[in-house]
Chains A and B, each alone.
Chain A
Amino acid sequence: MCWETLLDYGLRSLGIGERLLPRADFTLCQQVVLIGSGMIWNVYFGVLALISGFALATLLAVGKASDNALLRKPAEWFVFVFRGSPLFIQFFFGYFLFLSLKQVAPVFEPFSSAWMGALVVLFLNTAAYSAEIFYGGLQAVPKGDLDAASAYGLTGWRRFRRITWPTMLRLAWPAYTNEAIFLFHATTLVFFTGFPARQQNGDALYYASYFADKTFNPFVPYPILAGYFILLTLVIIGLMGHVNSRLNRHLPQTTIRRPRLLPQIMR
């Protein structure tokens, strides 16, 4: 019986399958399937923002650590603006900015829908938070490692690529794991901030609050959502832990610091 619901609503968040959402007599199965279907969006936003943000964050961290004020100042301002203001307001601002830009140039058409516009905001936001973490890692690279690199004749780009950057990543990784977890949590904000859920194709929290509103019973949909997110968090910790042990594979194995749930950094 639940199999049928899975076929009907499993990909509902992408607009595939049954169009009408259930309106009455909500079963537990429907709630589990639809909220799970919404998780597709949370994973989509989280994964793409994390990967693209990683690249920009590295550039920003290097810029922020630079001696050249022309590189340092813009990086510092970028990090300040995105870390100093609420993500909630950034989403609203981004959405209305893209709406206005759409009037000027039709190129911005896709940016006023969530799949593109919200992704851009999340990308910039996580880049700023990660940049601050990587900047800390960059500052903590042991002086001895850099001296040793110089002694081997490594300079400039080669020294950065082979010594500074891997060491920075290794040092920053536990905090970065934490950032990844809270980025996925932050993806639940998207459909509450102006970005429209076209044809009710929303994320997990969108469906959870839909059920809570319709049944007036928050004690079923929200624990389901919590279960999905705890699972997702465990997957992230597992994957990032894998990367962490690879980054630390040259070190004596007893001294490895495993990533764990560090103090909360919420936006």
Chain B
Amino acid sequence: MLPACTDPATLEGLPWLLCYLTTGKHLSLYWAVGTVLLLLAITAPAAMAFGFGGAVAARSGVLPLRWLGKGYIAIVRGVPDIAFFLFFVIALDQGIEYLRHRIKCPDWDQPVRQGSDFLVCDVAKMPLGNAPQWVHETYGFALAVLTFAIVFGAFAANVLYGAMRAVPRAQVETAEAYGMTRGQTFRRIVVPQMWTYALPGLGNLWMILIKATPLLFLLGVEDIVYWARELGAAKTSRFTDYPHPDWRVWYFLALLVFYLVFTRLSEIVLARLSARASHGQATAAGERLRRAGANAGPH
């Protein structure tokens, strides 16, 4: 808190606003923006890993594995994503506790599900009942990240599966003619070449991922939506030094603008990235770049 803010009742106009925007709860809101960025930073690579696994499984020669991969892609895409978020957060939590329960308490003889209760032995609880608050919060966040990764992994799997199939057949045939095995062809030919085909889809996915981050609120994480609702609600002078009427509409307007700026910036970066990836590729975009370069002369 700034030193000038000790008695907000005497302040007016801009100083009041400055003090108001630097209260402890507002700092929590700014931290929550960091949470969103952290979620994006962890989820994007994790979803890529899930997606890669899904795409490889869907291409596999082993039939059950192929069904698994294709089923993963199809089911997650056919059902509202919000339902999946709500489902996985509970299902993952119970799944982890159940596994720990089986390992740590092998001689527990009561059923785990009793009517409307889910009972595991005390040492199997996740996190443990006596764990400090930050462990609970981190665990909740980790569950949210895993949920996001599973759902977005299915979308990424779909994109990567398409991209792998888009690599020209002749390239694969040439590799086979050189005597490369299936695995070698995949590692040396398909994977390095698929990115240019995957990039538009992955870029699209990144935008979707950004726009899905407020759903953290539904998963019980104290994110920006949570704080915007908290801070915006009408406050009387009995509970705060900064009484104000219902300002939630302004807080959500700010969030709206935040997301607009974020997606716009991403769009610009993605356009640059895609131009770079198309460089020297035998695709329409690559050809356009080559022509533009030829017209502009060497630089």
Interface-centre pick from A90, A218, A229 (highest chain B CB count, 10 A): A218
Q: A68-91: contact bitstring with B at CB < 8 Å (1 yes, 0 no)?
A: 000000000000110011111110
Q: Are B79 and A217 in contact (CB under 8 A)?
A: no
Report whether over half of chain A's contact residues are helix, strand or loop; otherwise say mixed. helix
- Does A239 sit at the interface, judged by CB under 8 A? no
Shortest Cβ distance from A217 into B: residue: B113
B225 touches A92 (CB 8 A): yes
User: In whole angstroms, how far apart are the Cα atoms of A96 and B251 in the complex?
Assistant: 10
- Residues A222 and B259 in contact, CB atoms below 8 Å apart: no
Q: Contact between B159 and A229 (Cβ–Cβ < 8 Å)? A: no
Binds A, one of B15-23, B86-94, B134-142, B291-299: B86-94
Dominant secondary structure at the B interface = helix
Report the contact-size class of chain B (Cβ under 8 Å from the partner). Answer: 35 or more
Would you give the shortest CB distance from A208 to chain B, in whole angstroms? 7
B40 to chain A, nearest CB (A): 13
Determine whether the beta carbon of A84 is less than 8 Å from that of B259. Answer: yes
By the criterion CB–CB under 8 Å, are A86 and B83 in contact? no
Q: Assess the A96–B82 pair: CB atoms within 8 A.
A: no
- Give chain A nearest CB distance to B68 CB in angstroms: 18
Q: Which one of A9-17, A163-171, A185-193, A240-248 is at the B interface?
A: A185-193
Question: Are the C-beta atoms of A97 and B249 separated by less than 8 Å?
Answer: yes
Interface residues of B in 235-277 (CB under 8 A from A): 246, 248-249, 252-253, 255-256, 259-260, 263-264
Q: How far is the CB of A139 from chain B (nearest CB, A)?
A: 16
Question: CA of A81 to CA of B257 in the docked complex: distance in angstroms?
Answer: 9
* 14 pairs of residues in contact across A and B, judged by CB atoms under 8 Å: A88-B215, A89-B225, A89-B259, A92-B252, A93-B253, A96-B249, A99-B246, A188-B83, A192-B82, A205-B86, A217-B113, A218-B87, A218-B91, A265-B208
Chain B interface residues toward A at CB < 8 A: 75, 77-83, 86-87, 90-91, 94, 113, 116-118, 155, 158-159, 162, 201, 204, 208, 210-215, 217-218, 225, 228-229, 232, 246, 248-249, 252-253, 255-256, 259-260, 263-264
With A100-B249, A186-B80, A265-B208 given, can you name 16 additional A-B contacts, CB distance below 8 Å?
A26-B116, A84-B264, A85-B256, A88-B211, A89-B214, A89-B255, A93-B249, A93-B255, A188-B83, A192-B82, A212-B90, A217-B113, A230-B79, A261-B77, A263-B201, A266-B212
